[in-house]
Every structure is written in structure tokens, then in C-alpha cells.
Amino acid sequence: MIETLLVIEDEKLLGTELSRHYRQLGWDVVLVTRLKEAKTLLLNNLEPLLILSDMNLHDGNALDFMEAMKKQAGFTEWLFLTGFGSVPDSVRALRLGAYDFLEKPCDLDKLDLVVASAARSASIQRRVLDQAKQGYRRFSPDAYVGRSPQAQGIRQLLTKLTQVPFSALIIGGESGTGKGLTARILHYGGVRAQLPMIEVNCAALPRELMESELFGHEPGAFTGASGRHRGLLEQADGGTLFMDEIGEMPLDLQAKLLKVLEDHKVRRLGGEKEITVDVQLLAASNRDLEAMAKTGAFRADLYHRLSVFKVYLPPLRDALVDLDDLVPLFVAEYNAKAGRQVKNIPAEVWQKLKAYHWPGNVRELRNVIERCVLFAEGPEFPGQWLQLPGDGGANVVACAEHLICLPLDGSMALDDMDKHIIKTALERSEQNLAAAARMLGTTRETLRYRVRKYQLSVKE
């Protein structure tokens, strides 16, 4: 592959000689005599692998030019040649990220070695970047799959959000609706994709450990703190911190987090100085944070600081048409992982999938499809391995008016048996809670709890 070398040199004889020499070595050389010309080329999408520039040109200093144009040049290595080298200039060049700083006249063999080394460095950086971009593509807004109006609206919103530098956002929705996927789309599809994304589940950490993990600590800050620990807020500096289940965070730590978001500074436990951080915060919860803020279970000031934008992910039962896209996608995924060739999904399987209410949402669907594909013995999707809770409801037989028969073949989960028993008792008592409680040999309070749990209707 022929790579581009941009030569910026106002000594015409030297510039011509460098161009001729490196063209013979296989480079696509672009020669300019002014920084203004180089700026125009870079702004017009010229992507040189290497820039070889004189230090002082007629229309400016090349170090100032590098500082202004480094982002436009992308992963390009810079080499500087100067006839009037100075220590401050060389220090500044290296601080700005220049590969090398050479004095004129420079031996051509030595320059060839430096150019070859710089080209290898730039090639490696570009290869790493290309590989990262390949990985990021699976986290584009299109990764949120579905054809329902809800899914289309979510994709449109995510597309807009990845184009703006927001500071904080709340992702809401039931467990299993894809909050983690949404967070990765927002990070890897956004302006901070090249920087770190740090994830923490607030429900999985005890309060003492959570404070240390988030804010860090100094040696001796507490018993067992033998060394310095950089907190997750520091580790995510410049990038994104994804806080899942933020509703489980203690109120005192919420106040401390709010201060970090307002001041952009964090102080480690036991530390004396504040550390500046720039973090994009994505907060997710399957609880209603707005309602919690109204009751005092979540800090209202933190809620308002986080809710710059809100993304609510609908439950799968409200967008069953998305199964038409999700099921083939998961089948293909587990075909590839397990070496299966499942292609045909019978109509009765589709009927069961669309009749189920999916309390575990997309996560539950993925697990069901994984089980079926792994147990498949041919191209036919094995519906017998769906084992959806309540799927055995059709096999439930009322043996007698005062009896209920339930399947014990694994097709009906324990909770679904419990729900079916209570629902049947309520139906036979004409939705009378007291009569149903007597029928089941329990108290009204106990039965009322289960009625609410299973969202059943009763007459008080």
C-alpha cells in the first residue's frame, strides 16, 4: 500500500530533493512551501502517514501549526527539520507529540532510518484505531434492534445523542431491556469513543466498598488501605462512567457524587487535594428515579443534575413485533458460537413466543434462544426446549371443582404455579379476597401481598 508523505519545506532545492528521494522509496509525496497550503490539504481530508516539515517557514512556525492542526491530521507522525535548533523548541516539539526533531543539515541515511521508524509507529497506531473502530461498529445506534415504533424512536434518539457532548443522562426501563447495550452505544458511538468506559453496578457493592471504588483512597485512609487506589471517577476521566442500578446508591454518597458532577473535582478518601476530572455519567435504574426523588428515597438535586436527557427502554411485551428481528438475530449468534445450523422456526414456536409476556425482557429471550439452539439437532428450531414459564398452563387440568392439577414436567415454574393457584381460587370465589383466603387456608394480608405481586384483580 502506498502511503502519503507531506513535505513542508520553503527551500525549493531541498524540498525537490526530498520529494524525489522518497518517491523512489515508494512514498506518495506531496510537497508544499507554505503552512497555509498544508492547512488547506489537511482540511480537505488529506491523511498523510508522516509529515516532514521545516521548523520556521515564511508564513509561520511549524510547531504552532502542529498544535493547531494535530486533530485534523489524525494519527500522523510529525518530523521536524531546522537549521536553528534550540532546546526549548525541541522540548516543545516532543511535548506536542512530535516523533523527532532533527537539525539541518541532516544525513540522508539517518533521516531514512527516522522516517522508516516513524512510519512504522504511525502504521501501528492506525491499525489499532481501525481494529477499535471495527469493534465500535457493533455499538452503533443500529445495534438497538427492532421494528416497533418504540425501537425506531429509541434509535433516532440515540443517533442524536451520540452527536452531542452531553454531561449526564438517565437510562430507565425494566431489568433486561438493554440498558447496558444502550450505555455502550452512547459511549462508543459518541465523541468519547477513544477514551475509557468504566462500568459499576451500585447494587453489587456494599456502601463502604462503593465509596472507595468510586472516589478512590490514599494509603491509611481506613483499615486495610495499604496503597493508593484511583477511584472509578478518576479512571473514567475524559471518558464515560456507567453507573447501573444507581437507585441503590446510599443518600450520603449521592451528595458526594453530585459535588463531583458540579465541581468536576474528586477527592480520594484520606486525601488532601482535589483532582480535576471530566466524566460523562450514564445512570441506569429499573426503578422510577423521579418517583423516588419525590418521596426522598433518591436525592432530588442529583436526579435533576442527571436528567439532562432521559432514555426510557420499553419492555418487550409492549413491542412484541420486535421478536421478528430479535429471534433470528439471536439464532444466528448462537449458531455461530455453537456450530449449529438452525434455520426453520415453526409457526407454533412463533405463536408461543408472541403469546408469552416476557417478564425478563430481551435478556430472558436471549437465554431461551441460547438453550434451544444449543439443544438443536438439525435445522429445525426445537420448540420443546422453550420451557417458557406458564407454557404448561394449557396442560393444567381442573381435576375436580375443589382440586387443581399442575404439571410436574418442568414446563411450569414455581411462581407460575403459585399465580395459577391464586388466580383459580379468586375465580372460584368470584374475586372475593376473604373467601379465596379461606379456600387457600391463609390470611387476607398474605393473599393480598401475592395478589399485588402477580397483579391480579380482587373485590375487597
Q: For residue 133, what pLDDT is reported?
A: 61
46 Cα distance to chain centroid: 31
Q: For residue 393, what pLDDT is reported?
A: 42
Strand locations in 192-270 (E) = 197-201, 240-244, 265-266
Q: For residue 397, what pLDDT is reported?
A: 44
Query: Grid coordinates in use for 439?
Result: 379456600
409-426: string of b/e by CB count within 10 Å (b at 16+)?
Answer: eebbeeebbebbbbebbb
Place of cell 492542526: 69
The residues near 54 (Cβ < 8 Å, ≥ 6 apart) are 8, 9, 10, 11, 62, 80, 81, 82
* Residue 176 and residue 363 in contact, taking contact as beta carbons nearer than 8 Å: yes
Report d(CA 206, CA 285) in Å as an integer: 17
Q: For residue 91, what pLDDT is reported?
A: 80
Q: For residue 124, what pLDDT is reported?
A: 85
Whole-angstrom CA distances from 97 to 38, 79, 194 are 18, 10, 17
Spans of the chain, pLDDT less than 70: 1, 84-85, 131-137, 390-403, 407-412, 459-460
Q: For residue 85, what pLDDT is reported?
A: 62
Report d(CA 458, CA 452) in Å as an integer: 10
Place of cell 480537505: 44
Q: First CA to last CA across the chain, in angstroms?
A: 79
Q: For residue 401, what pLDDT is reported?
A: 55
| Residues 353-404 pLDDT 10s | 998 989 889 999 999 999 999 999 899 999 988 988 765 444 444 455 566 7
Tell whether the torsion through CA atoms of 58, 64, 67 and 68 is positive or negative.
Answer: negative
Amino acid type, 170: I
Domains of the chain: 4-135 (3.40.50.2300), 141-314 (3.40.50.300), 317-385 (1.10.8.60), 391-454 (1.10.10)
DSSP symbol at 385: G
Q: For residue 424, what pLDDT is reported?
A: 86
Report d(CA 307, CA 171) in Å as an integer: 9
The predicted model scores a pTM of 0.65
Report d(CA 326, CA 34) in Å as an integer: 56
